[in-house]
Amino acid sequence: MKKLLLTLGAAFLLAAGAQAQSGLGYGLRAGVNIPKYSINDGSTKSNTGFFVTGYLDAPISPNFSIQPGLSLQNKGGKWEPTSSSETKESVMSLDIPVNLVVKLPTGGAGNFFVGAGPYVGFGLSGKRKGEVLDGAIKGDRDINFGSDATDDLKRTDFGVNFLAGYQLTSGFQINAGYGLGLTNLDPRPNGTAKNRVWSIGLGFGI
């Protein structure tokens, strides 16, 4: 945790230094998440959620930028233990990503971009919904965050995210991403649950 916090702090200092050399940009991305969990014996099925990300763009050279941001992420997963039952878990998380982004110009039309970097996430709220007999019996409850074996999920997540896309000179962009959670969020001694999140969206950058 300390190493990651130091990394985040160093990235923000670099971003501040870059601002003195050239203009600091900013942007907004939003779209659809397709999250699931990596678990002991494979993975859950995918859920459907959303994300909204605001970020700063601090150039460190003509083709490289550091992009720290704040991102509201809808994560979770879905279990189908039998053909007539399922459990869905939906979690709202506030993530703080810091990405190193490479920009590849395509003449005067715009540029491709690819990036990667660490993130830290904090669980804000969550719901667990169950259905049995194809919806004949339903129930839901709030998710309990904590580190005890009786809790549902640990609150804090660390991981690495990847992004790619294309931005026009007007600022409009299309983007895709992947979040690779490295923290085991299952508080049970023998349990495993790590976030795996695909995303696709639109955005605008200045």
pLDDT tens by residue, 119-134: 999 999 999 888 665 5
pTM given for the model:
0.82
Q: Is residue 103 a part of any domain in this protein? A: yes
Q: Is residue 60 a part of any domain in this protein? A: yes
Q: What is the pLDDT of residues 145-163, one digit of tens each?
A: 999 989 999 999 999 999 9
- Identify the sign of the CA torsion 23, 112, 167, 195: negative
Enclosing domain of residue 10? 2-77+92-119+154-205
pLDDT at 19 over 50: no
User: What pLDDT score does 5 carry?
Assistant: 45
Q: Is residue 133 a part of any domain in this protein? A: no
pLDDT at 181 over 50: yes
Q: Is residue 142 a part of any domain in this protein? A: no
Report the CATH number at residue 33. Answer: 2.40.160
Exposure string of 95-121, with b = 16+ CB inside 10 Å and e = fewer, is bebbbebebeeeeeebbebebbbbbbb
Domains identified in the chain, total number: 1
